[in-house]
Amino acid sequence: MSLSREKPNLIVVLGPTASGKTEIALEIAGRTGACVISADSVQVYRYFDIGSAKPTEKQRGEIPHFLIDVADPDEDFNAGTYMRLALEQVRRLVEDGRKIVVVGGTFLYVRALLYGLLEGVEVNQEFRDRLAKERDAKGVASLHKELESVDPVSAGRINPNDYVRIERALEVYNTTGERMSDHQRRHGFAEQKFNALKIGLLGDRERLRRAIDERVDAMINRGWVEEVRAIRAMGYGPNLKPMKSIGYKRINEFLDGRFDFKTAVESIKTDTKRFSKRQSTWLRADDDIKWFDSADGDVPILEECSGFLG
């Protein structure tokens, strides 16, 4: 992809699950006339509507949205796929003179769009699953120490709480036997193509936990279980990647008789709160984020974004 020499401005809205990212992104887009690019690893899949909290058809009719419903549930879709599609979409919008807001909870996708990916080293899901268990048992700091022992240069560049980057550096070393810092020195990274204003949404932890409970209940009431039944009836099985995402996994387990309904719903809430906590940890490690407290309302955010986009 090639963009104009002058770097385009992007607003990126970040925050843990149920922090109000979608709502504030819509407010920003409505105020500035921007389009919205989703950075969500489940919203890319067709039919996964309720559990991924996709914007409604009405919202998408009022404000153009992109990178939603771009893959079938059995398609192989990863950060590299997202990066290619997102960069091409940004190119088109920039050529058309459109303003852009990126929003989503898949921070690896956001990072891929803004900074690129290390080419040539594939994702090793088995290794990542093992590393996630180690993280849950021992904490992120222990993995940073592990990285320090095999790749001190990368460890020195990565915040001890930045699990996503620690994971990738350990994955590169595990897969290739070569340190990520050596890969980077040899291959280099393309210059960042954007001026990005990163908006981070903060909020009281207990208020966020209540918001997650209310959000899950609302999704269930909207027909989340029926949605999963319908997807399965199309021939898409529970072992597909999106079927294993937060919430969908537990509903599939309920449908397969492994949980009763109440237990499944409570498990979704617990899983979502744990995921939200991990998201908050990743975000706090990013020094470029400009934080706003959701309790202060939208006005400060809208003023900041309007000034940035012009």
272/302 same-domain check: no
Separation CA 280–CA 270 (nearest Å) = 16
Q: Examine the pLDDT at 2 and tell me if it is beyond 50.
A: no
pLDDT per position as a tens digit, 89-125: 999 999 999 999 999 889 889 988 998 876 667 778 8
Q: Could you report the per-residue pLDDT of 219-251, keeping only the tens digit for each?
A: 999 999 999 999 999 999 999 999 999 999 999
pLDDT at res. 218: 98
102 and 25 within one domain? yes
Own/partner pairs for 292-296, CB < 8 Å, 24+ apart?
292/199, 292/200, 292/201, 292/202, 293/202, 293/203, 294/19, 294/20, 294/201, 294/202, 294/203, 295/203, 295/204, 295/207
Q: What is the CATH number of the domain that holds 61?
A: 3.40.50.300
Q: Based on the domain organization, do 73 and 200 belong to the same domain?
A: yes
Q: What is the mean pLDDT of residues 192-201?
A: 89
pTM of the model: 0.81
Task: Quote the number of domains for the chain.
Answer: 3
Residue 147 belongs to domain spanning: 125-187
Asked if the structure places residue 149 within a domain, the reply is: yes
pLDDT of residue 227: 98
